[in-house]
Amino acid sequence: MTDPGTRPVTGPMTGPVTGPVTDIDTLLAAYDEQMRGAPPDPAAGTRYERDGPLLRIVGQHRGFVSGPRDLGVRGTELDRLITRQRDYFAARGEAVEWKTRGHDEPADLTERLCQAGFVPETRETVLIGRAGRLAAEPAYPAGVVVRRVGTDVDLRRIADMQTAVWGQDMSWLADDLIGRVAAAPDDIDVLAAEADGEVVSAAWLVYRGGTDFAGLWGGSTLPAWRGKGIYRALIASRAQRAVARGVTYLQVDASDDSDPILRRLGFQAVTTTTPYVWTPG
């Protein structure tokens, strides 16, 4: 479930970001209610499981665990819940990501995750924008053509571009996108920005059936094509598609690089999110 998305722009934050109280509270409440459960259809080759308050996703490039705002367990009971997830994926010989948010309870969840051997990765900021305000005519630079893609070949080209951007093997991303398209092709729009037949940037929009939300992922761009407005144009293109599907809110887990761009476009920060990852020895 982890996509290379688009982290906080200011100092440390341990809870929801301050702002216009009523709007932030409304957005955060909607996020907690609608975005913490399982997507409607598991990607091909994956399955959803429940362990008490937790959602567990099995069959991805690494396991995934998420829970409600308040897990409802404390102390040794919480330790047992954490240990079960670690041991479950250890038996499979797989790493597992536990997705935490800055306003999760109990407050010592992350401390207990660390005690169980989980390691925090980079913190990101959860941003939410209103799709109708973000939908605009996209302005792509000359020579760039954008297509909605779904073939295995195109999705592997996107993964190759991501590998070049990040300097690490991102081939698992192709398998993830292929699985999503195979399971529910109407629940994801993958957009590839190409120039002279080369994928120079890509982003995808993931619809969440039964909710007011869609998620924005990707947006990585080859260095030579940065600063030309492709990232912003892909936001506008996806917002247009979201509005056409009746989506109210767009949600991003934003990196430090993307955060200021998205805020200027009208996104609001509601909390932070940090993956805690356990990896087999």
- The residues that bridge with 253 in the sheet, in sequence order, are 126
Give residue 34's pLDDT. Answer: 95
DSSP character for 78? H
DSSP character for 59? S
- pTM comes to 0.89
Burial of 56: CB neighbours in 10 Å, binned 0-12, 13-18, 19+: buried
And the tokens for 195?
Answer: 């120039």
Give residue 46's pLDDT. Answer: 93
DSSP character for 11? S
> Would the CA dihedral through 62, 48, 251, 246 be positive or negative?
positive
Give residue 9's pLDDT. Answer: 26
Give residue 22's pLDDT. Answer: 53
Give residue 4's pLDDT. Answer: 32
Residues in contact with 25: Cβ distance below 8 Å, sequence separation at least 6, in sequence order = none
Average pLDDT by stretches of 10, the chain with 281 residues: 31 40 85 90 90 96 96 98 98 98 98 98 98 97 98 98 97 95 95 98 96 96 97 98 98 95 96 98 85
Which residue type does 125 have? T
CA distance 215 to 128: 9
> Would the CA dihedral through 162, 168, 172, 176 be positive or negative?
negative
